[in-house]
Amino acid sequence: MQKIRVLIVGYGNIGRGVRQAIERNPDMELAGIVSRSPDRVAREVAGACPVMPVAPAEAWLQALHPDIAILCGGSKNDLPQQGPELVRVIDTVDSFDNHSRIPEYFAAMNAAATESGHVSIISTGWDPGIFSLERVLANAFLPGSRAYGFYGLTPRGGLSMGHSDALRTIEGVQDARQYTHAVPTAIERIRNGENPDYCAREMHTRECFVVLKPGADPAAVEKTIREMPGYFAPYDTTIHFVSQQELDEKYAGFPHDGCVVASGKTGDAQHAAAIEYRCVWGSNPEATAQVLVAHARAAVRLSREGRKGAFTILDIPPAYLSLHDRDELLKNWM
Ligand SMILES: NC(=O)c1ccc[n+]([C@@H]2O[C@H](COP(=O)([O-])OP(=O)(O)OC[C@H]3O[C@@H](n4cnc5c(N)ncnc54)[C@H](OP(=O)(O)O)[C@@H]3O)[C@@H](O)[C@H]2O)c1
């Protein structure tokens, strides 16, 4: 079996996860990593794989012969710029997660991929990604139902990387981690057949662990957190000021979990039905990376069929994601 040669573009948490995920997928091999900071990455990987600058693309195309690029840059600034440029030279997969801008990003990737004859699978991972698929399936199988996403079901909650980053931008904050907690009674109401119109604070609460810079005013930092639009203002938020040592010892890693829940009727008004799908991740970036690598396999299959343009998880047949061939799927997985 000829292995799929994967190029990692951008090396942060997701890039590290993709490198590990490739090792767990026997049909894949790492072609190399390209980065805007190749010296930093070369130091970190210590000769384990080739590391090259992200530009010019011709250099790594010729040297590394990748079949597919997994784009691991940030959704805010990196992917909108890098995605349309890179898909002009290679098939791509990414985890663009700015939900409100997915239509715009899809249009840009679809135009560039279609013109250049490449395949691009965008916005895959956890959410958007497998939770998007579960929402659509739940609504298709229970027409009229609404699908709700809840995050942070365990007592510890789920670490939100975006909200932790937002806390770290506040003046006077040295370091911070933010855990999201689902409101259990909100999930129960849906399980019991209701389809409520929840506002954000009725579904989740937020818990912040913040290390202050020397001399910073805790009251001012707390006020800024509570009033931060979009991130904390719409939620009931608990704030703990902790030392750097406590943060490092007790709140390291990227644990996260969540569920999609939908309820409705199957036909007869008496026949209530509910659909639930749950994920528990010891590490959110590692889990996202596994989903990205499965979609790299699907992208290569689509490309070999001569397909081109942008796709999302909603467009991918599950068999294309699987390591197993059709005979094995029919025999043991149906
Ligand atoms: N769909 C989903 O379910 C899902 C889940 C999680 C995350 N995501 C998305 O994945 C994106 C990437 O997440 P991430 O946690 O990997 O972000 P990250 O660690 O901040 O890395 C993003 C980029 O920043 C650069 N970088 C990382 N560390 C650096 C350092 N020490 N110095 C200089 N540059 C550095 C890297 O690019 P270079 O190597 O080119 O410098 C890297 O690709 C997020 O923006 C999020 O949108 C999606």
Contact call for residues 178 and 206 (beta carbons, < 8 A): yes
Q: Is 80 in the pocket of ligand 1 (CB under 6 A)?
A: no
In order of their start, the domains of the chain are: 4-127+285-332 (3.40.50.720), 139-282 (3.30.360.10)
For residue 265, what pLDDT is reported? 87
- Please tell me the distance between residue 307's alpha carbon and the centre of ligand 1 in angstroms: 29
Q: How is residue 146 written in tokens?
A: 């609404």
User: What count of Cα atoms within 13 Å lies in the side-chain half-sphere of residue 175?
Assistant: 9
Q: Is 73 in the pocket of ligand 1 (CB under 6 A)?
A: yes
Residue nearest to atom 21 of ligand 1 (CA): 12
pLDDT along the chain (334 residues), means of 10: 95 97 97 98 98 98 98 93 98 94 97 98 96 96 93 94 92 97 97 93 98 97 95 96 98 95 87 94 96 98 98 98 97 98
For residue 76, what pLDDT is reported? 86
- Please tell me the distance between residue 204's alpha carbon and the centre of ligand 1 in angstroms: 25
Residue nearest to atom 45 of ligand 1 (CA): 74
Q: Is 37 in the pocket of ligand 1 (CB under 6 A)?
A: yes
Contact call for residues 96 and 312 (beta carbons, < 8 A): no
> What is the pTM for the complete model shown?
0.94
Locate all alpha helices (DSSP H) within the chain, ordered by sequence: 13-23, 38-45, 57-64, 78-86, 102-116, 131-141, 161-168, 184-191, 200-203, 218-226, 244-250, 284-304, 318-321, 326-332
Using the atom order of ligand 1, give the atom closest to the CA of residue 17: 16
Contact call for residues 221 and 173 (beta carbons, < 8 A): yes
For ligand 1, mutation pick of 40, 72, 100, 121 (most atoms within 8 Å of CB): 72
Model pLDDT for residues 157-177, shown as the tens digit of each residue: 999 988 998 999 999 999 999
For residue 297, what pLDDT is reported? 98
Using the atom order of ligand 1, give the atom closest to the CA of residue 15: 16
Q: Is 152 in the pocket of ligand 1 (CB under 6 A)?
A: no
Identity of residue 53: P
Q: Is 45 in the pocket of ligand 1 (CB under 6 A)?
A: no
For residue 259, what pLDDT is reported? 97
